[in-house]
Structure 1
Amino acid sequence: MIPQIETASLAEIKSFQEEKLRELLVYLKENSPYYRKLFDANNIAIENIQTLEDLSALPLTTKEDLQQHNDDFICVPRHDIIDYVTTSGTLGDPVTFALTDNDLERLAYNEAISFACVGITKEDVLQLTTTIDRRFMAGLAYFLGARKLGAGIIRVGAGIPELQWDSILKFKPTYLIAVPSFLLKLIEYAHNNGINLKTSGIKGAICIGEPLRNQDFSLNTLSQKIKESWDIELYSTYASTEMSTAFSECEAQQGGHHHPELIITEILDDTNTPVAPGEVGELTITTLGIEAMPLLRFKTGDIVIAHTAPCSCGRNTMRLGPVVGRKKQMIKYKGTTLYPPALHNILNAFSDVENFVIELSHNSIGTDEICIKIGTKTPTEALLKSIKDHFRAKLRVSPTIEYLNIEDIRNIQFPKLSRKPVLIIDKRP
């Protein structure tokens, strides 16, 4: 189930996207209060925007724009809105996104081709271990995508390893949809309760929320820990509410494939100029085929590398590597530039670290400070020294580390309205 456009030539893909871009601009001018004002204020004649290169003449859209003018992005009458979702609000107040019936169909299509990308067919059964409620788009997308693909889906929801295993043993799913670190909880429960992982019937896991790979696509520490105990395939998927689109790995596991029928991508540097091939930059997207709240040149805040070499799966689309980090979470610490995923990877290497949260702040002279709060059953000086030595060896710097009760950290990670674990608390102004 590879869409024809994804195996087309690069020239054909570009021509296709340019036609869709022109259609989008007309739609926005006619239906979007926000973009109509933006075009008028900047004297933009949309008929002059004909190619992907012309995108640079258009203003960028930010998360702050969405927060300040949320309702002005809606392009349809209220009675056409079928579903409301909100972003997680990691970097500010949550933003509301409205979806029409056609938007839900597009969401289902996106997830169906993403599942097919990793090799899932209608013969498979998926177990959903993330929430489908709480205005969360991802859980709904997974359900709709499995239904469109014709695969079965078991809606267990978040947490409760005992219930997850009850469903695995009873219904025999072949794939899990899960946050990678939760797979470690399932492994631990299986070991403690005499469950044979080798005969579980699980072939693989579609993983969200945490990185699985290093920038060279090798397995990171977290993935290695999972596969040491449970020999299943692990597939990365990257998405966001704003995009209503996923970048999912194929069976080659060399980055998340771009779906050109759903989204236009740019990778921009700090001056909002396209980066050179293979360079790090901020993913900026323009959504295609969305009715209620399409976005034009939206800066996602995610720092990524695009890969354009041919893929063995037959798709000719660009692939995104693992997210390097979020732009607003970049840390300048003792002369070294860091992103939280690098810290996560080091902490995940220690089996004695039960859980953790990273706190970012400014010191009295206004420079960045890092305090890592660790929960462990063995809070010894030897463990502390080992962790600090590992940080110095890998990153050349060692942050402040302190022990906290495991349950206290769990409460920090999962605040009352949380839909996914909070691993970063950024107190910087």
Structure 2
Amino acid sequence: MIPTIETAPLSEIKAFQEAKLRETLAYVQSHSPFYQKRFADAGISVSDIRTLEDLQKLPVTTKADLQQFNDDFLCVPRHQIIDYATTSGTLGDPVTFGMTDNDLDRLAYNEAISFDCAGIKPGDIVQLMTTMDRRFMAGLAYFLGLRKMKVGVVRVGAGIPELQWDSIRKYQPSHLITVPSFLLKMIEFAEQRGIDYKNSGIKGAICIGEALRNQDFSLSTLSKKITEKWDIKLYSTYASTEMSTAFTECEHAIGGHHHPELIVVETLDDNNQPVQDSEPGELTFTTLGIEAMPLVRFKTGDIVKLHHEPCACGRNTLRVGPVIGRKQQMIKYKGTTLYPPAMTDVLSGFSNIENHIIEIYTNDLGTDEIVIKLAVKQESEIFLREIKEHFQAKLRVTPKIVFTSNAILNQLVFNPMSRKPIHFFDHRTH
């Protein structure tokens, strides 16, 4: 089911994208109040933008723009909106995204070709272990994509290991869609109750929200802990509400594949200039084929590397590597630049840790201060020293670490207003 354009020569992919880009720019010039004003203020004629390189002549769009001018991005009358989704609001106020009937078809197509990347085929059964409610686009996208593929869906939702295992036993799914750390809870539950999880028929899991791989595509600590216990294939997928497009790994696990029909991708530096090949930059995209709320040069806040070597699966498209971190969450600590995922990976190596949060403050000197609060099965000075030594070895810094209870952390991590667990709290005075 690989779309023909994904196996085409690079020159053909580029020409195809440029034609689609010109269509998109003409569309937003005609229909988007936000871009009409933005382009007029900058003295830009979209007819001058012919190539991917010409994109650099256009201003970028930011989350702040979306938050401030949300309704001005809408390109269709409100009665054409079929579904309303919102961003998670991890880095500020949530933003509403309306989708037309055609946008939902595009979303389904995107997920269908993405799941095909990960080896899901018509006739399979997939257990959906993420929420479909609370205006969450991802859960809806997964369901629509699987339906389009003629794949059976077991909509269990998040959490509740007992119900997950009961559904696996009853419906015999071949794949799961889940947050990877929850798989460890599934394994622990199965071991405690004598469930033969290794012969449950699960072949793979499509994982969201947490890093499966390091920058060289080796398994992260979390992935190792899962696969050492349970011999299933883990596939990473990266997406956002704003892009309505996913980058999902194939069986070769060397980055999420780009779908040229759906999105144009750039990586930019702090001055909005393209970074050199294989250098990390802020993922910036222009959506293609969206009716209700297309975005032009939208900066995601995610720092990634793009990979351009051909893949053995036959796709010639670029690939997005694991997210290094969120730009706004970058920490400068004692001369070292850090991102929360790197700290989470260190903590994932300890089975004694039950839960954690990472808090960042501005200290009296005006510099960043890190406090990591841990709920552990067994507290000891020896264990505390072991964690600190591990941080020093892996990240060259030793943050302040304090023990607390799981009950206290759970109130913060599982905020009822949030659709996903929150482990990072930024209290800095920016």
TM over 0.5: yes
- Secondary structure of 2:305's counterpart equals strand
Q: In the alignment, what sits opposite 1:68? A: 68
CA distance in 1, matches of 2:278, 2:42: 32
Q: In the alignment, what sits opposite 1:224? A: 224
Deviations 1:357-413 (A, max 9, x none): 100110011100110010112011111110001001111110000111112112211
- Secondary structure of 1:212's counterpart equals coil
1:129 maps onto 2:148 in alignment: no
Deviations 1:138-182 (A, max 9, x none): 000000000001111100001000000000011100000000000
1:276 maps onto 2:304 in alignment: no
1:348 maps onto 2:348 in alignment: yes
Q: In the alignment, what sits opposite 2:314? A: 314
- Secondary structure of 1:217's counterpart equals coil
CA distance in 1, matches of 2:283, 2:350: 32
What TM-score do the two structures reach when normalised by structure 2?
Answer: 0.99
Q: In the alignment, what sits opposite 2:334? A: 334
Q: In the alignment, what sits opposite 2:56? A: 56
CA distance in 1, matches of 2:134, 2:73: 22
Q: In the alignment, what sits opposite 1:146? A: 146
Unaligned runs of at least 5 residues, structure 2: none
What TM-score do the two structures reach when normalised by structure 1?
Answer: 0.99
Shift, 1:123, TM fit: 2.1
CA distance in 2, matches of 1:301, 1:332: 17
Q: Structure 2 counterpart of 1:297, which letter?
A: R
Q: In the alignment, what sits opposite 2:187? A: 187
CA distance in 1, matches of 2:237, 2:99: 22
Shift, 1:83, TM fit: 0.3
Q: Structure 1 counterpart of 2:60, which letter?
A: L
CA distance in 1, matches of 2:96, 2:414: 21
Matches within 5 A, 1:348-427: 348-427=348-427
- Secondary structure of 2:37's counterpart equals helix
Unaligned runs of at least 5 residues, structure 1: none
Matches within 5 A, 1:13-52: 13-52=13-52
CA distance in 2, matches of 1:119, 1:91: 33
Q: Structure 2 counterpart of 1:386, which letter?
A: E
CA distance in 2, matches of 1:383, 1:168: 37
- Secondary structure of 1:29's counterpart equals helix
- Secondary structure of 2:82's counterpart equals strand
1:200 maps onto 2:200 in alignment: yes
Deviations 1:41-84 (A, max 9, x none): 11111111100000000000000000000000000001100000
Q: Structure 2 counterpart of 1:45, which letter?
A: S
More off after superposition, 37-46 vs 66-75 = 37-46
Q: Structure 2 counterpart of 1:85, which letter?
A: A
Q: In the alignment, what sits opposite 2:250? A: 250
Deviations 1:95-124 (A, max 9, x none): 000000000000000000000001110121
CA distance in 2, matches of 1:225, 1:154: 26
CA distance in 2, matches of 1:385, 1:304: 32
CA distance in 1, matches of 2:176, 2:46: 45
Identity rate, percent: 66
CA distance in 1, matches of 2:41, 2:393: 52
CA distance in 2, matches of 1:274, 1:303: 13
CA distance in 2, matches of 1:396, 1:26: 50
Deviations 1:250-295 (A, max 9, x none): 0111100010100000011111111111101000000000000000
Q: In the alignment, what sits opposite 1:83? A: 83
Deviations 1:11-64 (A, max 9, x none): 101001111111111100110000000111111111111000000000000000
